[in-house]
Amino acid sequence: MMLGALLCCSSSYSGRAWWRRSTFPLRQCQQEQQQRCGISSSSSRWQWRNEKKSKSIEIETERRKRSPELVELEYANLNLKDSYGHAQVGHVRIRQHVNPLTSSFSEPTPPPDWNLIFQDCSRPLMVDIGCGSGRFLIWLAKNSFQSRNYLGLEIRQKLVQRSQLWVKDLALNNIHFMFANATISFGSLVSTYPGPLTVVSLLCPDPHFKKRHHKRRVLQKQLVDSISKNLCLGGHVFMQSDVLEVALDMRSQFNAVSDVFEHIDAVDSNFLCDPDGWLVHNPMGIRTEREIHAELEGAKVFRRMYEKRKHDVDIMIS
């Protein structure tokens, strides 16, 4: 019996000794690797995580610094001022997320006197829904070779005020910005415009990621129907987003009215699409601020452009 106990202890001891001998080179290798990286064995894991987190923060901070610089470079020829003094709208802190379903945004914006806004109301009209800072639309109004009027609709009033100050500084008479909830006000506004509505753009709208907030997204069936009704034949709808889910949602809503709209690549072979059906290039000649930021982060921008091929009889009757 004693002999059995001794053999058991001996085998247990030899097993532990074998485990130590087999794992010692691995431990030694790990320790040497940590020493080469300047990391002590006691705090290696936490230190590595902290260093990785710090590096990620540094990269993101650098991107955020570069993004405004790239925006300024893209829109350099506008020479827009950021400050207008304390009494007026200067540097604007942007509220990123606005709930369009609140009571303050539920009333339609009344149509303006178009003759007081544009020099020539017979020109074709382009409407940018959710125009943000307005730089994109101002650049088009100043640099586009086409004789066209431009209307920007934005739900954040401070951005509209600053955009209008920029328009005044540049002495442009073919562009105007309005504070409006486009989902509600689009139809009542553009239906009173004397000239034809030829282009509608919806560029990187607020994604409202949570499922219960999808009803806050600007592109709802009501707006799609209003665009279908008021856009002239041959008119275009250009939309894009760096959020695939949002881009797919917008795409599906316009694909649902395929009897009215056809994607541009089926109409004009000069517009190229990738295998998934997204436009390869931005056809507008200028990038939006969000587009610049997304591409700086290495994100893809998903684009679609539709052409109105015929009127929807049901919508026209309604």
> For residue 224, which phi and psi values (nearest 5 degrees)?
-60, -45
pLDDT of residue 43: 58
pLDDT at 133 over 80: yes
Cβ density class 100-130: b for 16+ within 10 Å, e for less: beeeebeeebeeeebeebbeeeebbbbbbbb
- The CATH number assigned to the domain holding 247 equals 3.40.50.150
pLDDT of residue 6: 43
- Residue 213, domain member (yes or no): yes
Task: Decide which of 289 and 97 is more confident.
Answer: 289
Q: How far apart are alpha carbons 245 and 167 in whole angstroms?
A: 34
Q: What percent of the chain has pLDDT over 70?
A: 69
- Residue 34, domain member (yes or no): no
Q: Which of these ranges, 74-83, 101-110, 135-144, has the smallest mean pLDDT?
A: 101-110
Q: How far apart are alpha carbons 8 and 93 in whole angstroms?
A: 75
Instruction: Please give the tally of structural domains in the chain.
Output: 1
- Residue 28, domain member (yes or no): no
- Residue 9, domain member (yes or no): no
The H or E element that residue 261 is part of is strand 261-263
Q: How far apart are alpha carbons 75 and 138 in whole angstroms?
A: 10
Amino acid (one-letter) located at 246:
V
Task: Decide which of 139 and 105 is more confident.
Answer: 139
Catalytic hit among 113, 120, 206, 259? 206
pLDDT of residue 146: 78
- Residue 44, domain member (yes or no): no
- Residue 50, domain member (yes or no): no
What is the three-class DSSP state of 110?
Answer: coil
Scan for tokens 């590096």, then name that residue: 55
Q: Which of these ranges, 92-101, 120-129, 174-183, 280-289, has the smallest mean pLDDT?
A: 92-101
pLDDT at 179 over 60: yes
Q: How far apart are alpha carbons 177 and 163 in whole angstroms?
A: 7
pLDDT at 263 over 70: yes
- Residue 33, domain member (yes or no): no
- Per-residue pLDDT tens for 35-51? 555 555 555 667 766 66
- Residue 38, domain member (yes or no): no
The pair of structure tokens assigned to 182 is 């486009």
Mean pLDDT, residues 286-296 = 94
pLDDT of residue 255: 96
pLDDT of residue 44: 64
Residues near 294 by beta carbon (within 8 Å), at least 6 away in sequence: 204, 242, 300, 301
- Per-residue pLDDT tens for 202-241? 999 988 777 877 777 888 999 999 999 999 999 999 999 9
Q: Domain range holding 96?
A: 65-317
Asked whether 201 and 272 are in contact (CB, 8 A), the reply is no
Asked whether 123 and 189 are in contact (CB, 8 A), the reply is no
Is residue 206 annotated as a catalytic residue, yes or no?
Answer: yes
Asked whether 279 and 300 are in contact (CB, 8 A), the reply is no
Q: Where are the alpha helices (DSSP H) in the chain?
A: 2-36, 44-74, 114-117, 135-143, 157-170, 182-190, 221-230, 244-255, 264-267, 289-296, 313-317
